[in-house]
Amino acid sequence: VSDLASQQVIWSEDMSSTKRPEVAGNGVFVSSDDGKIAAYEITSGQQLWENDSLLNRRLSNPVLLGQYLVVGDLDGVLHLLDPSSGQLVGRSKTSGEVRTLRVIDNQLYVATQKGAFSVWQNR
């Protein structure tokens, strides 16, 4: 995390990830290339939690949908986590390897490796 005005790095974390992090409230949520998901406190960089139950599942970028943190995987499964603890709280199946997630107006947009596109409503 950097301060743009001073061009100073406030904090950094050595985590291999090619996915866009999710920033919400006081948290920065990251999915690593090896399948870990971690949350960091936005101002200090202190790790709040880490979940390694989805190792080697080629996770998508994490997104916040309502009260859930969501990541997709290579089998087309959407995993719902509690953003305050990192605990897995649910799963749902979609069609094909999930590549990108985006949330707009409380709807989850899912794009897969094979070009399928779906929209999920948070209720």
Would the pTM count as exceeding 0.85?
yes
pLDDT tens digits for the chain (123 residues)? 666 677 777 767 777 777 889 999 899 999 999 999 999 999 999 999 999 999 999 999 999 999 999 999 999 999 999 999 999 999 999 989 999 999 999 999 999 988 888 888 877
Nearest to 111 by CA among 121, 103, 120, 101: 101
Sorted by sequence, the CB contacts under 8 Å of residue 110 that are 6+ apart come out as 72, 78, 94, 98, 100, 101, 117, 118, 119, 120
**Given this structure, which CATH class describes domain 2-121?**
mainly beta
Instruction: Give me the residue spans of the domains in the chain.
Output: 2-121
What pLDDT is attached to residue 57? Answer: 95
d(CA 36, CA 94): 21
User: Tokens in use for 4?
Assistant: 């743009």
